[in-house]
Chains A and B, each alone.
Chain A
Amino acid sequence: AQSVTQLGSHVSVSEGALVLLRCNYSSSVPPYLFWYVQYPNQGLQLLLKYTSAATLVKGINGFEAEFKKSETSFHLTKPSAHMSDAAEYFCAVGSGFQKLVFGTGTRLLVSP
């Protein structure tokens, strides 16, 4: 079975600081990996996804993630946090028949 672990339910950064949100996955087959963002009381929006074309994936709003097979990781980064980045972030792994398995989420807090 596939699974996702997101380390840290909350991450706090200052505006302008590096953002690093951690995601580790477990999969018996080559995975498809996704990062979604959710603002309060809204649905999820796709930030980026990995489909084996390139290990470094660039997404929207300046975010990127690097697939590291040896570490079974797909951490999300952004060089400089902005106040508007405050939201909840979900990592997910794609399994068969279009099913996604989600992590429990990491809430990003950005202070001025």
Chain B
Amino acid sequence: DGGITQSPKYLFRKEGQNVTLSCEQNLNHDAMYWYRQDPGQGLRLIYYSQIVNDFQKGDIAEGYSVSREKKESFPLTVTSAQKNPTAFYLCASSIASGSGEDTQYFGPGTRLTVL
């Protein structure tokens, strides 16, 4: 079955540590996205990528970094510069038609907790 996988499902981090969240898709989508979800705030875009080896900052990119070396993979690193990283992180993918009508398909999410 085609879909998006995220790992791990739960992640605990000590303050000052960098952690990397994995996102893999086998939908053959060009575009991939990372969102952060906090209670009562909906989803906020961290980074997105429309093609391999290219990515753009979203609305809340500070303290995060990404890479896009393969079409299938879009890992997110939460760095120690992110002051409040405890949240639910969602990865998504879509075709890249260039319009706003493309459906984004979401993975199951990773819940990150800072100890």
Contacts and interface: CB of A to CB of B under 8 A. Distances in A.
A19 B22 CA distance: 36
B29 to A, nearest CB: 10
Contact of A102 (B31, B42, B99, B111): B42
A105 B42 contact: yes
Interface string A37-65: 00001111110010100000000000000
A102 B43 contact: yes
Interface residues of B, number: 32
A91 to B, nearest CB: 9
Interface residues of A, number: 26
B48 A90 contact: no
A49 B109 contact: no
Contacts of B4: 43
A98 B102 contact: yes
A34 B103 contact: yes
Interface of B: 4, 6, 31, 33, 40-45, 48, 50, 58, 88, 90, 92, 94, 96-109, 111
